[in-house]
Structure 1
Amino acid sequence: MRVKSRWNYKEKEHTIPEIASALAFNAWRIGQQACLNLENEGFETTSQSQRLDVIAEFLAFLLHYLDRHVAERMPMEQRAELLQSFAGELARHMQDNRRDVEGPGDYKPAFIELLNARHDEYAEYAFDGDDPGFALRNTFGQHVAEVMGEHMRRWIPDQVEAIEVPEALAPFRRALRNLLPKQDKGDDAADTEGVATRPDPHSLQANNTED
């Protein structure tokens, strides 16, 4: 799938919020495509709300991947700002789409709570280099199966683990490669060998994601 992975003005120095906004735009499109892929494989959703639940799981996975990816590439302060801004932009997208589908309401707190919960959970699992390990991919697949429905539980984890994770990460990595600033690892960058060390996920606050 096509993603926005190039800046219009390459010579311009882009702020962390600008980078987070571009990454969130790409992540949302990736989540939409993943949901469509599942439906094309026969894993049907029954409502727009359920589609948003599936997209939310993919966004939580991509947020965690982003944190692990930049942990050795950014100083902690910059990394935390990126994660916070990215979460805020994702919450804005989710708020707008939930409101269109489900009517007026504040949908950000529940979404931020999901991001925090998944971020904590996925941090317990190892990466193999820059790739999420089997246990993390499998757990992610189980969460997607849960929102798709009990009758899907047997088959979806394998589909997500083997097919959807690589297809989601390929364009997201391309966006990261082209949108993130090129810099050396900061002195206070975290060590992510094995289990992640990352900014406190509870810094992802719904009240920092206003429209």
Structure 2
Amino acid sequence: MVRLKMKWHKQDKSHSLEEEAGVIAYNIWKVAMDAILNLENADYQTDSNKQRLELVADNLIFMIHLADRMTIEYFDEDERTRFIGELSNKCGKHLVDNYHDLYGTGNYKQEFIDLLNSRVAEYAEFDFSDDDGPGFAMKRYYGEYITGIMGEKHNKWVTSQMIDIEVPAMYRHLKRIMKNIIE
């Protein structure tokens, strides 16, 4: 079970959008990593750190998109744009730092941005509700990306695992994080 930062230490102090985005990005990173650990604990095969980071990238992007859909109730359009930009940058920084630690220099930031822009445009076509989160078609689409990254062992069941178990857990965590940090 992932431990998340769910409240501010100084609750009487107001926090900027950038501070909120930073805390939420940190928690999204933890949830993204936990989803991979859950897959591995369910006996799904990952073969390398590179593969794990690719999975983390897709998990981050999916949750950034969900956060974007959820922020409609919290922010006006300008604030929402600033918040999602900051959230994306901070999530990307966590990912890029890990790539640098494992593989040295590279164009990891631009690769993440390109993947983020591509995926978010695709996810925007699918249904989403505040109560239920992403619709079945979005979960399946995302699950197919994860399946494409996973190893050969049990590959045909990964999409079902994502639809039935991981996405609902990710959305539950994100909903709690957003509510507790932004409100």
* TM-score in terms of structure 2 length: 0.94
Instruction: Report how far residue 32 of structure 1 moved.
Output: 0.6
Structure 1 residues not aligned, in runs of 5+: 183-211
Equivalent residues in 2 for 1:147-186, closer than 5 Å: 147-149=149-151, 152-180=154-182, 182=183
In the superposition, relative to structure 1, how do residues 17 and 136 fare at CA in structure 2: closer, same or farther (>3 Å)?
A: same
Deviates further, 78-87 or 142-151: 142-151
Amino acid paired to 1:135: A
- Give the Cα–Cα distance (whole angstroms) in 2 for the partners of residues 54 and 147 of structure 1: 7
How many corresponding residue pairs? 181
Q: Which residue number in structure 1 is paired with residue 143 of structure 2?
A: 141
Amino acid paired to 2:120: H
Bigger share in helix: 2
Equivalent residues in 2 for 1:108-119, closer than 5 Å: 108-119=109-120
Residues 64 and 87 of structure 2 are in contact (CA less than 8 Å); yes or no, is this contact kept in structure 1?
yes
Amino acid paired to 1:70: T
State the SS of the aligned residue for 2:156: coil
State the SS of the aligned residue for 1:71: helix
Q: Which runs of 4+ in 1 moved over 3 A?
A: 149-153
Residues 70 and 130 of structure 2 are in contact (CA less than 8 Å); yes or no, is this contact kept in structure 1?
no
Q: Which residue number in structure 2 is paired with residue 25 of structure 1?
A: 26
Structure 2 residues not aligned, in runs of 5+: none
Q: Does 1:92 align with 2:93?
A: yes
Percent identical residues: 36
Amino acid paired to 2:172: A
Cα-Cα RMSD:
1.3
State the SS of the aligned residue for 1:115: helix
Instruction: Report how far residue 10 of structure 1 moved.
Output: 0.7
* TM-score in terms of structure 1 length: 0.82
Equivalent residues in 2 for 1:1-211, closer than 5 Å: 1-130=2-131, 131-149=133-151, 152-180=154-182, 182=183
Residues 145 and 153 of structure 1 are in contact (CA less than 8 Å); yes or no, is this contact kept in structure 2?
yes
Instruction: Report how far residue 128 of structure 1 moved.
Output: 3.5
- Give the Cα–Cα distance (whole angstroms) in 1 for the partners of residues 58 and 174 of structure 2: 15
- Give the Cα–Cα distance (whole angstroms) in 2 for the partners of residues 154 and 23 of structure 1: 32
Deviates further, 126-135 or 87-96: 126-135
- Give the Cα–Cα distance (whole angstroms) in 1 for the partners of residues 67 and 23 of structure 2: 13
- Give the Cα–Cα distance (whole angstroms) in 1 for the partners of residues 62 and 114 of structure 2: 14
Residues 2 and 171 of structure 1 are in contact (CA less than 8 Å); yes or no, is this contact kept in structure 2?
no
